[in-house]
C-alpha cells in the first residue's frame, strides 16, 4: 500500500488498499486522518517517528498495529523515503509504503520505529499495490533500499528523481480526483 506526504508530513495520497484494510475512506485518511486507524496505544509512537523523520528529512521505519474495519488489530510495517525535488534541494515529503506483517504477531509486542534507512518488508496479500502507478512506486522504494547495499550509489540521484516524479504523478491523481468530486 503506497502513501505520499507533503514536506510537513501530511498525507496527500493513499492507495485504494488503505480503505480495504482499514475501512476508512481515502479522503478521511488525508492530512493526519490516517492516525485514527492506528491502535491508540501505538499512535504516539507513530506520530513521534514521523515528526522526527520529517524534521530531519530522513528515511523512517515504524511497526505498529492498524485497526481493521471490525476494529481488530493487524501489525504493519510502514516507512518512507524522502523526496528532495528534481534538483535535490528542498525536502518535498515522503513516498512510502505500508505492508501487513504475517499473522501471528502478539499483543505483547509494542510499537517501535527508527529514523534510519528504510528497508521495506516483502508485500503481503492485501497491501500489495493494485494500480500500475502504485506498483511503480513500490518497486522504486524497494530499489532505493537495495541500491545502497550493492554499491550502485552512482544511480541514487536518478532513482531519487524518479521517486520525486512518481510522487508528483500520485499527487496529480489526487488533484484530478478532487476536481471530479
* Mean pLDDT of all residues belonging to the chain: 81
Asked whether 172 and 6 are in contact (CB, 8 A), the reply is no
Q: Which CATH architecture fits 2-180?
A: 2-Layer Sandwich (3.30)
Give the DSSP H/E element, type plus range, for residue 145.
helix 132-147
pTM exceeds cut of 0.85: no
> Which of 7-11, 27-31, 92-96, 100-104 shows the lowest mean pLDDT across its residues?
100-104
Q: Which three cell numbers stand for residue 73?
A: 488489530
For residue range 55-73, list pLDDT tens digits in order. Answer: 998 989 999 999 999 989 9
For residue range 65-119, list pLDDT tens digits in order. Answer: 999 999 899 999 999 988 887 665 788 899 898 988 877 655 566 776 767 766 6
Strands of 60-67's sheet, edge to edge? 11-14, 2-5, 93-100, 73-83, 60-67, 112-114
The predicted pLDDT at position 156 comes to 75
Residue with cell 520505529: 113
For residue range 117-153, list pLDDT tens digits in order. Answer: 666 665 555 556 667 777 777 777 777 776 766 666 7
pLDDT tier, 180 (very low <50, low <70, confident <90, very high otherwise): low
- Please tell me the distance from the alpha carbon of residue 51 to that of residue 45, in angstroms, as a whole number: 10
The predicted pLDDT at position 108 comes to 61
Mean pLDDT for the stretch of residues 51-55: 94
What letter does residue 57 receive in the DSSP assignment? T
Amino acid at each position: 500500500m503506497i502513501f505520499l506526504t507533503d514536506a510537513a508530513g501530511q498525507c496527500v495520497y493513499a492507495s485504494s488498499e488503505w480503505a480495504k484494510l482499514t475501512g476508512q475512506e481515502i479522503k478521511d485518511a488525508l492530512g493526519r486522518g490516517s492516525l485514527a486507524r492506528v491502535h491508540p496505544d501505538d499512535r504516539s509512537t507513530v506520530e513521534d517517528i514521523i515528526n522526527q523523520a520529517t524534521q530531519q528529512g530522513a528515511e523512517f521505519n515504524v511497526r505498529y498495529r492498524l485497526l481493521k474495519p471490525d476494529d481488530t488489530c493487524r501489525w504493519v510495517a510502514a516507512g518512507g523515503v524522502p523526496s528532495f525535488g528534481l534538483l535535490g534541494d528542498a525536502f518535498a515529503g515522503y513516498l512510502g509504503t505500508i505492508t501487513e506483517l504475517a499473522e501471528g504477531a502478539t499483543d505483547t509486542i509494542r510499537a517501535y520505529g527508527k529514523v534510519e534507512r528504510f528497508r521495506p518488508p516483502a508485500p503481503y496479500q492485501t497491501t500489495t499495490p493494485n494500480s500500475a502507478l502504485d506498483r511503480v512506486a513500490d518497486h522504486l522504494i524497494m530499489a532505493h533500499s537495495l541500491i545502497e547495499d550493492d554499491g550502485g550509489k552512482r544511480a541514487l540521484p536518478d532513482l531519487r528523481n524518479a521517486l520525486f516524479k512518481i510522487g508528483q504523478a500520485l499527487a496529480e491523481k489526487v488533484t484530478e480526483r478532487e476536481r471530479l468530486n
